Every structure is written in C-alpha cells, then in structure tokens.
Amino acid sequence: GAGVSQSPRYKVTKRGQDVALRCDPISGHVSLYWYRQALGQGPEFLTYFNYEAQQDKSGLPNDRFSAERPEGSISTLTIQRTEQRDSAMYRCASSADLAGRETQYFGPGTRLLVL
Amino acid sequence: QQQVKQSPQSLIVQKGGISIINCAYENTAFDYFPWYQQFPGKGPALLIAIRPDVSEKKEGRFTISFNKSAKQFSLHIMDSQPGDSATYFCAATPYNQGGKLIFGQGTELSVKP
C-alpha cells in the first residue's frame, strides 16, 4: 500500500519568502507528526496532531512556524519569512495509534534550502 | 531535560561480528524506547522497540537491552551483515505525550565484507 508522501521533495527559496510543506499520511492513520532533521543529526520533534487537533506544538522553533491538519488527514507545515537557519530536511510521520506506542511511518521528507 | 544521548557516533564492524550501540537518558518519564534504522535518502524506519517493564527484547538478529536503574539501553546486532550498514537512531517517548519521539544523535554503522 501507499506510504507517507510529502511534497515537494525539494524546495529552494529565498530568504524572507513563505513556504508550505505538505504531508499525506497513510490512509486511516489518526496521528501525524512533524520532525526536522539536520544533516548528520537525529530528527527533532516539531509538532503532532491527533485527528485534526494539534496536541503539542512545543517543538516549533518560533512563531514563524505553524502547522494545520484541518480535516484530520493531509497536513501542512508553513514557515513564514524563511531564514537560512530554517534549511533542513522536514519529515512527516503517521501512526495508527493515538497513544503513540505503535510504529510511526516516516515519509521521504522535504529538503528545504533557504538562500 | 528531554534528551537522549547516543554513542558511538560511527561504528565499523566486520561481517559476522556484533554491533553494539548505546543510549542513555535522564528523563524518568520516558516509557517507550524504539530504535529506528535509516538508509541514505530514506526516512527512518522502526526496527525494534521496548518498554521499561522488560530488560531485553529480541527480534531475529536484533536485541534491545534495557537497564532502567542506569537509565541506559542498547541495541545489539548479531551476525552483522553489509546490508545492515545504515544510520541507527535510538529514541524515547515521554509518558502521556502521545508519540512524541526524542531521538538520539545517530550512529553510522558500516559492516565490512
């Protein structure tokens, strides 16, 4: 079956522009997570949703970052007024389990480069 | 402090040998400890996971050893194969915070033929 998909796979943008990163979770998965992964580092938690409700946004670096999942399926991570330090791989994961003790399936990621 | 420390940063093992990766944590509220495997250009994939009520879990060639009192856990890969060459991440999930994963820094494993 289809796994988690993310688009675009690569995004190059100029400093100050807004970007929107999309995540399509596995069909029926109730939980959706966003992580950021710097080169050579482990993924860093950003935020997560159960259905359409954002449960925890403690990992969002600042108020330029926001995320939504309005219908409990597709999610968008938006970065406003991008800065060079935002350059990273942004990964999405989904899970069938609300308690978070089952497998999180990761997508291929969106590589963001801010010039 | 929600942090997981992983070592070594890189590891070279001969085919057939045992690969051992270690992780330590400080937050006693962690209650789920998965290991993820990541190949170049791919997202992390769950390899094996353990809960703190057991001291060891084995799945095929992969074993997690868990020491609750020392707040340490480790991954052992028996009979390591070149196909095991990948980056391995330990992680931990805090109690009552859904599936929020706190990852270690990663270990790049290379298994030489």
Yes or no, beta carbons of A106 and B91 under 8 Å apart: no
Residues in chain B whose Cβ is within 8 Å of chain A? 6, 32, 41-46, 51, 89, 91, 93, 97-106
The neighbour count for residue B12, using CB atoms within 10 Å, is: 13
Q: Does A47 touch chain B (CB under 8 A)?
A: no
Per-residue confidence (pLDDT) for residue B2, from 0 to 100: 61
Taking only the tens place, the pLDDT of each residue in B40-99 is 989 999 999 999 899 999 999 999 999 999 999 999 999 999 999 999 999 999 988 888
Q: For residue B51, what are the contacts with CB-CB under 8 A and spacing of at least 6?
A: A101, B31, B32, B33
Per-residue confidence (pLDDT) for residue A2, from 0 to 100: 83
Contacts of A95 in chain B (CB under 8 A): 99
Yes or no, beta carbons of A43 and B103 under 8 Å apart: yes
Nearest CB neighbour to B43, from listed A101, A103, A108: A108
Show the low-confidence residues of chain A (pLDDT under 50).
Answer: none
A55 to chain B, minimum CA–CA distance in Å? 8
B13 to chain A, minimum CA–CA distance in Å? 20
Integer Cα distance of A111 and A3 in angstroms: 18
Q: Does A70 touch chain B (CB under 8 A)?
A: no
What value does the mean pLDDT take over residues B5-13? 97
Per-residue confidence (pLDDT) for residue B70, from 0 to 100: 94
Per-residue confidence (pLDDT) for residue B66, from 0 to 100: 96
What value does the mean pLDDT take over residues B5-17? 97
Per-residue confidence (pLDDT) for residue A102, from 0 to 100: 83
